[in-house]
Amino acid sequence: MSEHDSKPRVGFFSIMKSALSALIGVQKDANRVRDFESGKFWHFFLAGFIVVVLFMLTMWLWVQAMLKSAG
């Protein structure tokens, strides 16, 4: 059994949870250690990119709705 096989994999929902936690600035130390030891950089990069784009899109839509309702 190689060293890669012994590490637990980080799943999709774990990666998204970590990205959302990073967005608001809170995360348990155990999760951070797990992410750095078991996760792949590109998975977290892509998740962070998606979370930021969705956040920006949500804010833009919210501002547009407020401007429309203001007249």
Given a contact cutoff of 8 angstroms between Cβ atoms, the answer to whether 35 and 44 are in contact is yes
pLDDT at 52: 95
Q: Report the pLDDT value the prediction gives residue 16, as an integer from 0 to 100.
A: 92
pLDDT digits (tens, 9 = 90+) for 15-70: 999 999 988 888 888 888 888 888 889 999 999 999 999 999 999 999 999 999 99
Average pLDDT score over the chain: 88
Q: Are 51 and 20 in contact (CB under 8 A)?
A: yes
DSSP conformational letter for 25: T
Q: Please tell me the distance from the alpha carbon of residue 31 to that of residue 20, in angstroms, as a whole number.
A: 13
Q: What is the pTM of this model?
A: 0.74
pLDDT at 55: 95
Degrees to nearest 5, angle at CA 10 with 9 and 14: 155
Which pLDDT score is estimated for 1?
47
* Residue among 10, 23, 29, 32 at smallest CA distance from 52: 23
